[in-house]
Amino acid sequence: MSNLVTIFGGSGFVGRYIARRMAKEGWRVRVAVRRPNDALFVRPYGVVGQVEPVFCNIRDDESVRAVTKGADVVVNCVGVLAEDGKNTFDAVQAEGAGRVARIAAEESVQRMVQISAIGADADSDSEYAQSKAEGEEAVLAAFPTAMILRPSIVFGPEDEFFNRFASMTRFGPILPVVGADTKFQPVYVDDVAQAAVKGILGQAEPGIYELGGPDVRTFRELMTEMLSVIHRKRLVLNIPFFAAGIMAKLMELGQTISLGLVPAQLTTDQVANLRNDNVVSEGAKTLADLGIEPTTIASVLPSYLWRFRPSGQYYDITESAKTLRN
């Protein structure tokens, strides 16, 4: 019988790439998610019955134990960018991560991979960063041999970064950003998946790895590159942190008053996070230590952002026709 890996959040952005790679490795893949019916798309990653979505609430011991039993390795990809009801930073990224590690140890799981984030810091002004650090600490306390991956902003076809800002360009000549001079080191989603697979297969030393791509860019530079790919001209307008903080508080108030019907597009915690550069630390273990060559932004963005061009998939044809008319 083939080995079994349980991937918590395995239908999410990063999780699905790990699931696909592990299916190709011949492993059985248990995709633990809150809504299994919404994760049926993972089944074709393998042969019939090889990849199965199952229900799990990471905030509940018995739920986590049920999907951990029998697994050789567990991977925790669960995380939230903004708090939503009971899914707070603490409940999901700190307590949830610790729960997965503790139960994995109790169930004699061989290895564990935890997806964290660059910037995880217990002393940060951001509750998101604090909870990521607390999650790492809880994981290592229960499962000392765990592999912890800290990616910078992750990009790829389903990302919530480039897709979000490219979509915003459709609504006016200005593209507002908070922290235009903040630096990022975007990492391709499948590079993160490859790193996780190294840990699952026991081909990497335990410990913390910081994952960044070959390109270090400011927020403004990333937006400029994105605009070049989608062939749109927009003014990238930096919103000062003090103004962004006020905007975020008003948006959060609107979300509260509407009982969540109008979600905040920007939160005070995100503003706090954007004050800090999001790049690989000097001396950290990286993709290079795993034998993985990072993928450039330029080689991937055109493959999925083309739909935001003025004529979408027909942009090149339209531009070519203009040349013929001249």
User: Which of these ranges, 123-127, 253-257, 309-313, has the smallest mean pLDDT?
Assistant: 309-313
Angle at 238 between CA 167 and CA 255, to 5 degrees: 60
Contacts of the segment 87-94: beta carbons below 8 A, 24+ positions apart? 87/59, 89/127, 89/128, 89/130, 89/131, 89/269, 90/127, 90/131, 90/134, 91/59, 92/58, 92/59, 92/131, 93/128, 93/131, 93/132, 93/134, 93/135, 94/131, 94/134, 94/135, 94/138
Domain coordinates in residue numbering, the chain:
4-155+185-212+279-294
Strand (E) or helix (H) holding 28: strand 28-33
pLDDT of residue 263: 86
On whether the CB atoms of residues 106 and 69 are closer than 8 A, the answer is no
Residue range 42-66, pLDDT digits in tens: 999 999 999 999 999 999 999 999 9
On whether the CB atoms of residues 192 and 17 are closer than 8 A, the answer is yes
Given pLDDT bands bounded at 50, 70 and 90, which one contains residue 41? very high
- Taking the alpha carbons of 12, 14, 20, 25 in that order, is the dihedral positive or negative? negative
The CATH number that domain 4-155+185-212+279-294 falls under is 3.40.50.720
Given pLDDT bands bounded at 50, 70 and 90, which one contains residue 2? confident
pTM recorded for the entire structure: 0.93
Residue range 251-295, pLDDT digits in tens: 999 998 988 888 888 999 999 999 999 999 999 999 999 999 999
